[in-house]
Amino acid sequence: MKEVAFQQCIAASCSARFGIEELLFACTKCGSLLDVRYDWDRAVVPKKLSAFESRWNTPGRSADSRADYSGVWRFRDLLPFAPTEKLVSIGEGRTTLQEADFLATTIGMHPGQLYLQYEGFNPSGSFKDNGMAAAFTMAGVLGKSRVACASTGNTSASLALFARHARTQEGLPLQAVVFVGGGKISSAKLAQALDYGAKTIQVAGDFDDCMKLVREAAEKLDLYLMNSVNPFRLEGQKTIMYRVLEGLGWDVPDWIIVPGGNLGNTSAFGKAFAELRHLGLIDRVPRIAIINATGANALCALVNEHNLRWNDSDWDQSIIDKYWSQMETENFRAQTVASAIEIGRPVSLTKALRTIDVMDGVVRQVTDDQILDGKALVGAHGYGCEPASGASVAGLRLLLDEKVISPADRVVCILTGHALKDSAVTANYHTGGPTKPRFANPPVTCAANIEDVERILTGKD
């Protein structure tokens, strides 16, 4: 794999190239983010995407059949950076694409055109497991025994779970160290990190503080950094798009809609489609809509108000620097009910600009109320999701109103986390207060007798 894969700076003016086993989280020449890249002429890739379908398998004993059981490694030819014997898997990526006709008609779309991709069905309950399978594989290749991340809750849950299942070169579990914002993380996500045995550091600050701290700690204390600045994470997350295509019989949809937080998914999706196009495996690329929460809207503001563009990888860094320093002057802190995407300074910002370019993307922001309504619609018509994921359906409703998306377009909303990740927010939506939200379904109180049940069910008061 060393002959096929390498790391490369994303800035074309620099394009510095590094070996696949060099331990880096930014270009040492210019400081930009790094990609994992492949010499596709030397890689063996199936001629047609449909070849991947035949790999669905039950777990067997060989390295190949174990890899085929994973929804990430089933596509290993499209992320060929490690030998099959070294691939780490806990059964990630066996997720579902739902054709959501009731939801489609409820929000004014044509039936058969709206799909929901449930990444909450991963073992730790979020899409993060796709990326962790890849990053833990690299940790194994590099012989790392301690791994770390900053998190709003899902990265930490996923890292903690994988650390228990992956093995060091001595055959032991890895040590997981997670940095989470004190008081910000949902209790279910905190519980996962604790239950899976991670050293859980609750920082008196928010995600952005945790991110800064974990970078320092990784450098000083020899921790392998597992946030999405680790380019291997994004290789795993590319496979979400492969599974979406597979669910659609390998047809390319018109739109992918994704919540935007740290922008790892956004970055991975653009890379996935650029590579598939380069390989001649698809003939067109879908558009992408990236949805911020209004209280955590750096990408939306930078793109739509400050005209920040990829510009052939020659983005205007001064726009970004000015924006960050203004945030600092104003002591701005991200704030949204969707705690998973409560992020002020997304680390994969520049790669997200590239995705907007590749996928002719748009960026929008939605309010907390719109996010919660979006989430409730997924609950009522699908399998439910956590608040941040509701942003994608909220974004779809907004873009239908704006007529950017047409009711006849084929749309896939990515649902990033499981409904049980933040049930306190869900219960509060349905039961809370006098200002009843639009799709609330509050419980009805009942005396312990059949007459009262009858009164309730017949609507006779």
Q: Which residues contact ligand F0G (rule: CB under 6 A)?
A: 126, 151-155, 259-266, 340-341, 386, 388-389, 416-417
Q: Cβ 261 to ligand F0G, closest distance in Å?
A: 3
The Cα 400–Cα 216 span in angstroms is 43
Q: Cβ 117 to ligand F0G, closest distance in Å?
A: 12
The Cα 421–Cα 375 span in angstroms is 12
Q: Cβ 4 to ligand F0G, closest distance in Å?
A: 26
49 vs 343, beta carbon nearer ligand F0G: 343
Based on C-alpha coordinates, what's the Rg of the chain?
22
Q: Cβ 207 to ligand F0G, closest distance in Å?
A: 7
The Cα 27–Cα 14 span in angstroms is 9
């952005």: which residue's tokens? 208
266 vs 350, beta carbon nearer ligand F0G: 266
Q: Cβ 153 to ligand F0G, closest distance in Å?
A: 5
- Strand residues in 100-227 grouped as ranges (E): 114-118, 146-151, 175-181, 199-203, 224-225
- Mapped onto helix, strand or coil, the DSSP state of residue 199 is strand
**How far lies 13's CA from each of 267, 367, 397, 399, in Å?**
20, 38, 39, 35
Q: How many CB atoms lie within 10 A of CB 160?
A: 28
**CB burial readout 324-361, b (16+ within 10 A) else e:** beebeeeebebebbbbbbbbbbbbbbbbbbbbbbbbeb
- Mapped onto helix, strand or coil, the DSSP state of residue 250 is coil
The Cα 384–Cα 386 span in angstroms is 7
386 vs 409, beta carbon nearer ligand F0G: 386
> Are 344 and 206 a contacting pair, CB within 8 Å?
yes
Structure tokens at 262: 């740290």
**SS3 labels along 344-358:** CCCCCHHHHHHHHHH
117 vs 265, beta carbon nearer ligand F0G: 265
Within 8 A by CB and 6+ apart from 11, the residues are 27, 30, 32, 313, 314
Chain centroid to Cα 87, Å, comes to 21
The Cα 281–Cα 268 span in angstroms is 17
C-beta nearest to ligand F0G: residue: 261
154 vs 297, beta carbon nearer ligand F0G: 154
Q: Cβ 417 to ligand F0G, closest distance in Å?
A: 3
70 vs 265, beta carbon nearer ligand F0G: 265
286 vs 344, beta carbon nearer ligand F0G: 344
Q: Cβ 374 to ligand F0G, closest distance in Å?
A: 12
253 vs 346, beta carbon nearer ligand F0G: 346
52 vs 162, beta carbon nearer ligand F0G: 162
Q: Cβ 447 to ligand F0G, closest distance in Å?
A: 40
Q: Cβ 386 to ligand F0G, closest distance in Å?
A: 5
